[in-house]
Amino acid sequence: MPFVWTPNMKLSNIVFSLVAAVAITFGFSTSTAQGQCTADLNNDHKVDGADIGQLLSQWGTNGSADIDGSGAVDGPDLTQLLAQWGSCIVVPTWATLVEAAPNASIVTDANLRAAIVASGLAWRVRDNASNIEMLLVPAGIFTMGCSTSTTYPNCNSHETPLHQVTLSAFYMGRYEVTQAQWTAVIGSNPSYFQGQTNSPSRSVERASWNMIAGTNQTPPSFMSVTGLRLPTEAEWEYAYRAGTTTAFHSFPGYANGTNDDTLLGNIAWNSGNNGDPGSSTYGTKPVGGKFANALGLHDMSGNVWEWCQDLDGGYSSEAQTNPIGPATGSSRVLRGGTWNENSYYCRASGRYSTSPDSTYYYYGFRVVRTP
């Protein structure tokens, strides 16, 4: 874009045109800004001419365009803006960027990819405190509750009534937390299936809710050490479904999911494909061994029950936004079914709850973090 001078052109317009021309000439328009995108002054997920205009309108003041915090909008702020020119991908301060934009071979739903891009948040990151890989689950609305399957045409009453839920974006662990990841944080391993083939990459189990998310624990809970959290039950179901409304989430050849229980083995280790007690295949499996859903999340069905943050309670028919469950109760919710459960509990809407101090060789979890 060449600079063209015209009579009576205002000084600010001249500067704007010159800066824009320099930015494009030197290739700034194709670069990708990382970090917190401090030069995205109008919060539209890109750094471009509109941000230059806002900066120039505040030149010499201590306005919001004071990017470097020096007390005045000036040349160094303009330099920082040009360095961030282009797409503005926000990487949370607690994370390291792995991949900015969603990979179509992993996030297989085009609508979900578009929602991730529109959020302005990095798609794939690694949590610095735990070294756990996390994927962005974009904000959205879904219907929570009963999804029947062909083998189980009736839901438990605990899965009704159906209700609309609106959720903000969050990051979720791509896999269930493994024995190795737990041990690296806590220093010991509670799992029954340890010391076996591939046990470090198997889901950690025999972890109670209190061990994972409790306060004033000895040793400290996993979440208190890392700053991560458990998903709410609504976040968990929304992430499981990944745009589907069926009993079981999508996988190759079934883009809209399925209600066919005989196909569960494609996405879940469960009682139908786990092997006999005493065999080398019995018990938990290394994470990621089955097809992921359309968000790229593995083992949302089967392998281990996954603790949620919520206390157990009934559903309301009213629409909700970012629900956190009931305020009182004695049990905590688990989701997803396990390696020794049938397809009934592996459905998207299947619910289970137990005491937060319970430890069994099929209770595990995955992590969540707010951007």
Q: Where are the domains of the chain?
A: 11-88, 95-369
- Find the Cα–Cα–Cα–Cα dihedral 214, 217, 219, 221, rounded to 10°: 10
To which residue do tokens 């994927």 refer?
135
CA dist 109 and 235 (Å) reads 18
Q: Which strand (E) or helix (H) includes residue 86? A: strand 86-88
- Assigned token pair, 112: 């979900």
Q: Are 14 and 5 within 8 A, CB to CB? A: yes
- Checking DSSP bridges between strand 32-33 and strand 86-88, what pairing results, if any? parallel
Residue 51's pLDDT band, with cuts at 50, 70 and 90, is: very high
Among residues 130, 133, 308, 132, the alpha carbon closest in space to that of 226 is found at 130
CA dist 207 and 363 (Å) reads 6
pLDDT of residue 181: 98
Do 11-88 and 95-369 have matching folds? Answer: no
Average pLDDT value for the chain: 91
Residue 10's pLDDT band, with cuts at 50, 70 and 90, is: low
Residue 36's pLDDT band, with cuts at 50, 70 and 90, is: low
pLDDT of residue 133: 98
Residues 6 or more apart whose Cβ sits within 8 Å of residue 189: 179, 182, 183, 204
Superfamily for 95-369? paralog of FGE (formylglycine-generating enzyme) (3.90.1580.10)
- Assigned token pair, 184: 């690296």
- Assigned token pair, 30: 């194709």
248: left (phi over 0), alpha (psi -120 to 50) or beta: beta
Q: What is the pLDDT of residues 280-310, one digit of tens each?
A: 778 999 999 999 999 999 999 999 999 999 9
Q: Are 116 and 239 within 8 A, CB to CB? A: no
Q: Are 65 and 73 within 8 A, CB to CB? A: yes
Considering the domain 11-88 in this protein, what is its CATH number? 1.10.1330.10
Residue 279's pLDDT band, with cuts at 50, 70 and 90, is: confident
- Assigned token pair, 197: 């083939």
Return the SS3 of 334: strand
CA dist 261 and 257 (Å) reads 11
Q: pTM of the prediction?
A: 0.84
Q: What is the pLDDT of residues 86-135, one digit of tens each?
A: 878 889 999 999 999 999 999 999 999 999 999 999 999 999 999 999 99
Q: Which strand (E) or helix (H) includes residue 352? A: strand 352-354
pLDDT of residue 251: 98
Residue 25's pLDDT band, with cuts at 50, 70 and 90, is: very low
Examine the pLDDT at 16 and tell me if it is beyond 70.
Answer: no
Q: What percent of the chain has pLDDT over 70?
A: 90
Among residues 156, 209, 189, the alpha carbon closest in space to that of 349 is found at 156
Q: What is the pLDDT of residues 193-232, one digit of tens each?
A: 999 889 999 999 999 999 999 998 888 999 999 999 999 9
pLDDT of residue 96: 96
